[in-house]
Amino acid sequence: MDTVDATVKRLREQCLSRGASGIQGLARFFRRLDRDRSRSLDARELQQGLAELGLALDMAEAEGVCRRWDRDGSGTLDLEEFLRALRPPMSQAREAVIAAAFSKLDRSGDGVVTMDDLRGVYSCHAHPKVTLAEFQDYYSGVSASMDTDEEFVAMMTSAWRL
């Protein structure tokens, strides 16, 4: 495991030790770290913030974490990138129920939900197509706010009538 992975693991463990509210509290933590109020964190802000949590990184390590988490190539971390990086991996039970819900939407079975799949059921103007990976990413965020697989599976089963 490289330094970046080890740092992410340690930070995630600290957050999860607080339960589901730990992930939710990260938004407040992110805003506190964003000293210049740019709505994003640069490597220095991240380094200083992680040091507050007892995770001392040198600048090269902080830059490596930023590069790993920076999905849009901006060179900084926005709140969504920060939260996505710290989400815990989902259990197989959670992944399975998300895949079942996606399959229900994907009438054509081609792995992509398009307007044709949803015609008459959902307005697709904002999101004309959704892949399974995007669907899983969305529900990964929802999953992070739920403590147990049973609670998550029950919510998905009820919401999607699975």
d(CA 162, CA 160): 5
Last residue of a domain, one of 35, 62, 86: 86
14-18, 84-88, 90-94, 139-143: segment of lowest average pLDDT:
14-18
pLDDT digits (tens, 9 = 90+) for 99-138: 999 998 888 899 998 888 887 667 777 778 888 988 888 8
The verdict on 17 and 75 lying in the same domain is yes
CATH number at residue 134: 1.10.238.10
pLDDT greater at residue 149 or residue 125: 149
Identify any residues that bridge with 112 across adjacent strands, giving them in sequence order: 131
Residue 50 lies in domain: 3-86
| Closest-CA residue to 8 (of 71, 76, 64) | 64
pLDDT at 43: 92
Q: Is the pLDDT of residue 21 over 70?
A: no
The verdict on 128 and 62 lying in the same domain is no
Last residue of a domain, one of 61, 86, 111: 86
- Per the CB < 8 A criterion, the answer to whether 85 and 8 are in contact is yes
Number of compact structural domains in the chain: 2
The verdict on 17 and 81 lying in the same domain is yes
The verdict on 81 and 114 lying in the same domain is no
The verdict on 82 and 36 lying in the same domain is yes
The verdict on 60 and 100 lying in the same domain is no
Q: Is the pLDDT of residue 19 over 60?
A: no
The verdict on 9 and 71 lying in the same domain is yes
Last residue of a domain, one of 86, 114, 145: 86
The verdict on 56 and 114 lying in the same domain is no
pLDDT digits (tens, 9 = 90+) for 23-60: 567 777 778 888 888 989 999 998 988 888 777 888 98
pLDDT at 88: 75
- Per the CB < 8 A criterion, the answer to whether 127 and 118 are in contact is no
d(CA 108, CA 121): 15
Q: Is the pLDDT of residue 93 over 90?
A: yes
